[in-house]
């Protein structure tokens, strides 16, 4: 049996999306080895028994946020002597190590994502992470920070970039643009997508808002569409009002994942000039629709965006630089088209689910054998 321990599967967000794709890849890996697979989710409700990703149903056991119930389920599965457990967050690493006390022959893998490992973890989580047989990071930056801040031995570390889902078929041409999502603005759209929580106020939406009054002087039909929800929305709405450009700044609720391509198709530029992303799944989603992307020159984003080729990288907080790069793209349809084509080509070669599933299988096969 191969087990997966997940913080959450059914909520929106990049980590949740990558977790669903990891679950799909783990099911495929288990089936190829003639083993069964089972997944336990900490935060998903006990009533919810499955989630659908890319047309595939993923069954799991939800624990409704109860840590004691989560631990009970995990230890109960460990008694069955699984061959492998994959924990999809370092906070779940202590559970994986506790399971190994009941299943000494079991291999343990922990996936780290980004900001959570950029400073030293609490002692128990850090010790459990160091004790895992393998630690997987999605970008070179997160890989390096895990080595430095968590003192994980380099021999245990592996890099594995996130991917699009299997619904993106690299053998097919880009689909024709679909209808715009409900309440989507008209005009020339700069799009950003994320979770706008106060604890994640480093995404750079406030800098996009600050750029709008300057952009409107040259491009009077430009619009900023910010898709997402969270506790930071009141502050962002206030900044939009204070900017004097609120008529051109639109806050839209989360769009279901299979409708997100419509939003990317409706924009000219995707931008999230963040202080640091562990990877930045939204960038490759936009790039898969042949859209140039602007991101922060920090964290894992440089692994995704090739500055000056598939988009631009900007220094966090440098609004003048952000305005300059946005103006370049808004002023030149040719530049947008060339960068969009290069972005799509990069996705086809580096960020497909086929590549992700194959590389994950190679990491796990190496460990199990």
**What is the pLDDT at residue 49?**
83
Report the share of the chain in percent with pLDDT over 90: 79
Span 237-284, pLDDT tens digits: 999 999 999 999 999 998 877 788 889 999 999 999 999 888 889 999
Q: What is the pTM of this model?
A: 0.90
What pLDDT score was predicted for residue 180? Answer: 77
Q: What is the CA radius of gyration of the chain?
A: 21
What confidence tier does 347 reach under pLDDT thresholds 50, 70, 90? very high
CA atoms of 92 and 169, how far apart (whole Å)? 33
Can you tell me the mean pLDDT for 155-159? 97
DSSP SS3 for 111: strand
Q: What is the mean pLDDT of the chain?
A: 92
Topology match between the domains 2-166+352-368 and 188-350: yes
Each residue's pLDDT tens digit, 303-339: 999 999 999 999 999 999 999 999 999 999 999 999 9
Distance, CA of 341 to CA of 181 (rounded, Å): 24
The residue ranges of every structural domain in the chain are 2-166+352-368, 188-350
- Assign domain 2-166+352-368 to its CATH superfamily: Glycogen Phosphorylase B; (3.40.50.2000)
Structure confidence by residue, pLDDT tens digits, 166-223:
877 544 445 545 577 778 898 999 999 988 988 878 899 999 999 999 999 999 999 9
- Give just the sign of the alpha carbon dihedral 43, 88, 281, 259: negative
> pLDDT tens digit string along 49-94?
888 877 788 899 999 999 999 999 999 999 999 999 999 999 999 9
Phi, psi of 227 (to 5 degrees): -100, 120
pLDDT at 234: 95
pLDDT of residue 171: 44
Query: Residue 161 in 3-state DSSP?
Result: coil
Q: Sheet holding 37-41: strands in order across?
A: 61-62, 37-41, 2-6, 84-87, 107-111, 134-137, 157-159
Lowest average pLDDT, out of 11-15, 38-42, 68-72, goes to 11-15
Rounded to an integer, what distance in angstroms lies between the CA atom of residue 108 and that of residue 39? 14
Query: Looking at domain 188-350, does it have CATH number 3.40.50.2000?
Result: yes
Quickly tell me which residue has 């989603």 as its tokens: 285
Q: How would you class 351 by CB atoms within 10 Å of its CB: exposed for 0-12, middle for 13-18, buried for 19 or more?
A: buried
Query: Which ranges of 47-194 does DSSP label H, i.e. alpha helix?
Result: 67-78, 93-102, 123-131, 140-150
In this prediction, residues 103-120 reach a mean pLDDT of 94
Decide if 83 contacts 106 (C-beta within 8 A). Answer: yes
Residue 154 pLDDT exceeds 80: yes
Mean pLDDT of 335-345: 97
Q: What are phi and psi of 265, to 5 degrees?
A: -65, -30
3-state secondary structure of 269: strand
Structure tokens at 60: 């799991």
- At residue 173, the pLDDT reads 47
Instruction: Collect all residues with Cβ–Cβ distance below 8 Å to 62 and sequence separation of at least 6.
Output: 41, 43, 44, 45, 46, 47, 48, 49
Distance CA 279, CA 256 (A): 21
């Amino acid at each position: 049996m191969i087990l997966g321990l997940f913080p959450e599967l059914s909520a929106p967000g990049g980590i949740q999306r990558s977790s669903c794709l990891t679950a799909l890849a783990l099911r495929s890996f288990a089936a190829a080895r003639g083993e069964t697979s089972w997944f336990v989710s900490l935060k998903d409700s006990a009533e919810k028994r499955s989630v659908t990703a890319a047309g595939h149903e993923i069954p799991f056991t939800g624990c409704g946020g109860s840590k004691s119930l989560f631990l009970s389920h995990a230890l109960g599965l460990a008694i069955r002597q699984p061959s492998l457990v994959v924990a999809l967050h370092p906070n779940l690493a202590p559970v994986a190590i506790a399971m190994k006390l009941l299943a000494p022959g079991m291999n343990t893998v922990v996936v780290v994502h980004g900001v959570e490992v950029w400073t030293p973890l609490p002692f128990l989580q850090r010790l459990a992470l160091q004790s895992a047989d393998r630690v997987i990071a999605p970008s070179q930056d997160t890989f390096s920070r895990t080595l430095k801040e968590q003192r994980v031995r380099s021999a245990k570390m592996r890099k594995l970039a996130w991917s699009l889902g299997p619904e993106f078929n690299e053998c097919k041409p880009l689909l024709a643009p679909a209808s715009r999502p409900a309440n989507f603005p008209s005009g020339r759209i700069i799009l950003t997508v994320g979770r706008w929580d106060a604890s994640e106020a480093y995404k750079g939406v406030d800098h996009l808002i600050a750029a709008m009054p300057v952009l409107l002087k040259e491009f009077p039909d430009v619009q900023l569409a910010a898709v997402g929800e969270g506790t930071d929305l009141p502050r962002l709405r206030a900044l939009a009002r204070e900017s004097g450009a609120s008529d051109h700044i639109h806050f839209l609720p989360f769009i279901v994942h299979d409708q997100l391509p419509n939003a990317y198709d409706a924009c000219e530029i995707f931008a999230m000039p963040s202080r640091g992303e562990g990877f930045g799944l939204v960038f490759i989603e936009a790039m898969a629709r042949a859209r140039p992307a602007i991101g922060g020159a920090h964290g894992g984003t440089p692994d995704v965006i090739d500055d000056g080729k598939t988009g631009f990288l900007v220094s966090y907080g440098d609004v003048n630089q952000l305005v300059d790069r946005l103006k370049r793209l808004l002023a030149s349809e040719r530049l947008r088209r060339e960068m969009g084509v290069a972005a799509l080509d990069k996705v086809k070669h580096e960020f497909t689910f086929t590549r992700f599933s194959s590389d994950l299988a190679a990491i796990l096969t190496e460990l199990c054998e």
